A and B are shown apart, each in its own frame.
Chain A
Amino acid sequence: MKEKKKRGTPISLVFPKRMYVFIIPAIALFLTFWIIPVFQLFYYSVTNFNGVNYDYDFVGFKNYMTLFREGTLVNSIKNTLIYAVIMVLGSNLLGLVLAMALNVKLRGKAFFRTASYVPALFSAIVVGFIWSYVYMPESGMIASLMNTLGLDGSSFNVLGNYKTALYAIAIVEMWKAFGTTMIIYLAGLQTVDESLIEAGRIDGCTEWQLIRKIKLPLISATITINVILSIIGGLKAFDYAFIMTNGGPGKSTNTLMFTVYKIAFTDQMMGKASALSVVAFIVIIAITIFMLYFMNKREVEL
């Protein structure tokens, strides 16, 4: 009885305010190496700081204007969005379909699950190397395969073509990511009550109706998590543009994060890179909040 009263009052003896001491190590690291740098970005974005020399001037919104005039801004946002959409649709559809298939009572289920998950264990840099080989013109995996099948493998060059390069690297990211998505969907599907499915069967639902009307609504929370995770992953796109294409050909695989990195480290224009970071920050936050809101609303509706 005594405890109940304690929990109701704002000042708790069991959980006093001095508990906040526990948070100090984490908050100190987080502030110093994450939050303050983010604020510094906002400041540098209106200067011509080059990253080394602290003798910089205040230039107002010039960096933002340059980014916009050059087309860098629109180009990198567009590339990132295309990449993210492919990631979200691809890895979720693939993951969901596979999870549905593996949720049936199957022998050898563990084998299929492991085979689809193995790519997720590799470091992005290793994956980048492997797929550089897969896509290599003339003697790479796909080109050799085409040669064996009597097709002209020498004309195959997805990474060298500005129309296909972005899709090609998005597929690589998908290859690495869909296994994780699938595992999360499998966990979600396993929480679906078997008796509901049985009831549906007795009522004469087709397999498709069972999926559409029972399974999907019941795992809507899992769908939200997976979609949000792949959006965050897709918007952070950097690895394969860095390892496989170096942003090229032309500017076709310049994603936001790769462009930020390139402007800061190759061009040594920290002010401009910060301006792009600020834009990226706003884009990422806006999309994440919008999606969270949108998905949560759907979840309630279903």
Chain B
Amino acid sequence: MAKRQKSYKEKEAAAKLSPGIIVLYILLILFCLLVISPLLIVVSSSFREPGNMRSPLELFTQFSFDSYISAFTKMNYPMQLLNSLMTTGGSVILIVIFATMASYPIARIKSKTSRFLYYFFIAGLVIPSQMVIVPVAQMFGNLNIPNTRFTPMVMFITCSLPFSTFLFTGFMKGVPVEIEESAYLDGASLWQRFSRVVFPLLKPATVSVVITQGMWIWNDYFFPMIFISKSSQYSLPVGMIQFLGDRENPAQWNVLFAACVLCALPLIVVFAVLQKQFINGIAAGAVKG
């Protein structure tokens, strides 16, 4: 497969008659193969029967869904998928609401207080979650917040606020003040101005926040691992932790690979559909920030 791709690319490049470009193509193809080779082996092995560990380097020699069926049942896939969807979706919606609201005064009022609040939020960016997890867990205990599938959402939202507020503030400063002034003269209230005038104009930043934070939340296993005790409430990544012991057992590797594919699949599908938004959203998030 690799060879065919290479010669095809070479032909294309040869049309431009530049040896530099050909070398570039070869290097790029080799590099990309190197990068995705672990993934190829994972996908290929996941289609083997659970026991078949013979020479995994021979790609796609067997097509069986046994490993998938086994992983699917062991993970309780539909349940975990639903949990993941609910927590990610819910968190992202609340992040957008809270962060846009917070950045509204920070971007619009020019005073020492608002500048202080801005840096106050940014400072949160550098604190790793492992560091504060014990006091945070105590705080949950003191506030009598029970461990449910939605408990990690509190932390997802809190940890996303610094980045999101930062991004929205930067973006909101670019929204002309004149628009709001005319809305004010037309008698719009603060809330109306925020929700009807400013918020719709923040769409590019919203897309960026939804993608970057959504991706992080979807993939995070740390907070669910700490805050969820029942396995029926696990999200996909934290469900993967139960496979940790299986690494010692070679007979389980193909099932493990199938579980990895199942876990990653939803995001891959979304990425495939919304590739352009992903690329732009990630770039915009970093460039603005």
Listed in ascending order, the chain A residues whose CB lies under 8 Å from chain B are: 3, 6-7, 10, 12-20, 22-23, 25-27, 29-30, 32-38, 40-41, 44, 51, 98, 101-102, 104, 106-108, 110-119, 121-126, 129-134, 139, 141, 144-145, 148, 175, 180, 183-184, 186-188, 222, 225-226, 229, 232, 235-236, 238, 243, 257-258, 260-261, 264, 270, 273-274, 277, 280-281, 284-285, 288
Contact check, B28 vs A34: say whether CB atoms are below 8 A apart. no
Q: How far is the CB of B247 from chain A (nearest CB, A)?
A: 6
9 CB contacts below 8 A, A to B, read: A14-B180, A15-B109, A26-B99, A29-B161, A33-B136, A104-B21, A107-B9, A180-B282, A280-B131
Given the complex of chains A and B, what is the CA–CA distance between A261 and B260 in angstroms?
25
Q: Does B209 contact A (CB under 8 A)?
A: no
Find B260's partner among A22, A130, A235, A288 (CB 8 Å cutoff).
Answer: A130
Find A175's partner among B24, B35, B157, B219 (CB 8 Å cutoff).
Answer: B35
Q: How far is the CB of A191 from chain B (nearest CB, A)?
A: 8
A123-B263, A144-B55 in contact; A41/B135 too (CB < 8 A)?
yes
**B42 contacts which chain A residues (CB < 8 A)?**
130, 133
Q: Does B93 contact A (CB under 8 A)?
A: no
Contact check, A3 vs B36: say whether CB atoms are below 8 A apart. no
A51-B134, A260-B131 in contact; A121/B215 too (CB < 8 A)?
yes
**A186 contacts which chain B residues (CB < 8 A)?**
283
Given the complex of chains A and B, what is the CA–CA distance between A124 and B268 in angstroms?
15
Interface centre among B31, B126, B154, B250 (most CB of A within 10 A): B126
**A111 contacts which chain B residues (CB < 8 A)?**
32
Chain B residues with a Cβ closer than 8 Å to the other chain, count: 97
Which residue on chain B has the smallest CB distance to residue A145?
B57
Tell me whether chain A's interface is mostly helix, strand or loop, or mixed.
helix
Which residue on chain A has the smallest CB distance to residue B270?
A121
Find A25's partner among B25, B101, B132, B133 (CB 8 Å cutoff).
Answer: B101
Q: Does B117 contact A (CB under 8 A)?
A: yes
Contact check, B247 vs A129: say whether CB atoms are below 8 A apart. yes
Given the complex of chains A and B, what is the CA–CA distance between A284 and B105 in angstroms?
29
Find B253's partner among A13, A30, A133, A274 (CB 8 Å cutoff).
Answer: A133
Contact check, B131 vs A281: say whether CB atoms are below 8 A apart. yes
Contact check, B109 vs A107: say whether CB atoms are below 8 A apart. no
**A37 contacts which chain B residues (CB < 8 A)?**
132, 135-136, 138-139
Which residue on chain B has the smallest CB distance to residue A15?
B108
Contact check, A257 vs B139: say whether CB atoms are below 8 A apart. no
Given the complex of chains A and B, what is the CA–CA distance between A35 and B159 in angstroms?
11
Which residue on chain A has the smallest CB distance to residue B238?
A125
Interface centre among A25, A26, A225 (most CB of B within 10 A): A26
Contact check, B108 vs A19: say whether CB atoms are below 8 A apart. yes
Q: Does B41 contact A (CB under 8 A)?
A: yes
Contact check, A126 vs B240: say whether CB atoms are below 8 A apart. yes
